[in-house]
Amino acid sequence: MPDVNTNFNEKTIKYEQLLEDFKKLLKDNNLKFTIQREVILETLYNSDEHLTPESLHHLIQEKYPELKTGIATVYRTLSLLEDSDIVTSLSFGAQGKKYELGAKEHHDHLICTECGEITEFVDEEIEKRQEIIAKELGFKMSDHSMQIYGICKTCQDKQK
């Protein structure tokens, strides 16, 4: 699989710029800039994982117990960030959403329905086919998201 890339650790924006954009977003929405909100943004920025609001809250409580960041603040901040395309989410139905910072190169996801493991990837052949299909159907594509659900190798091996 020479055309498949699974390394997406590099950010497409520096934290300082992201923070300035976040401050403007808060101001535009008549919200105060607080250290709790900044820590939510910073934790998302520094994470290589897809986080549930609960796991994000747990990470913040572990690292900054004195901040007393409430789970409601985490949910509201994630909602604001998602509405403004700073973060993206993957839906897990009744199990909720997992979030990631949108400051990465475009990629798609393989999602294990057994353990929840998420593998990010890009396959240039798939990317080209999507563009061709959109063009053939007279569709002007502005963005896309692909999520493939199944069972990862680790879970398959456990079932044997």
Q: Which two tokens stand for residue 11?
A: 């950010």
pLDDT tens for each residue of 90-130: 887 777 898 988 766 777 888 898 888 888 888 889 889 99
The per-residue pLDDT of the chain, averaged, comes to 88
Q: Name the residue with higher pLDDT: 21 or 117.
A: 21
Q: What does the angle CA 88 – CA 94 – CA 95 come to, to the nearest 5 degrees?
A: 60
Q: Name the residue with higher pLDDT: 58 or 115.
A: 58
Q: What does the angle CA 21 – CA 22 – CA 27 come to, to the nearest 5 degrees?
A: 100
pTM of the model: 0.75
Cβ–Cβ < 8 Å for 56, 71: no
For residue 109, give the H/E element and its range: strand 108-112
Q: Name the residue with higher pLDDT: 14 or 103.
A: 14
Report residue 7's pLDDT band, with 50, 70 and 90 as the boundaries.
Answer: low
Cβ–Cβ < 8 Å for 130, 144: yes
Using the predicted structure, report yes or no on whether residue 9 has a pLDDT greater than 70. Answer: no
User: How large is the average pLDDT for residues 27-41?
Assistant: 96
Residue 124: Cβ within 10 Å count: 11
Amino acid occupying residue 71: I
CA 81/CA 32 separation, integer angstroms = 14
Using the predicted structure, report yes or no on whether residue 1 has a pLDDT greater than 50. Answer: no
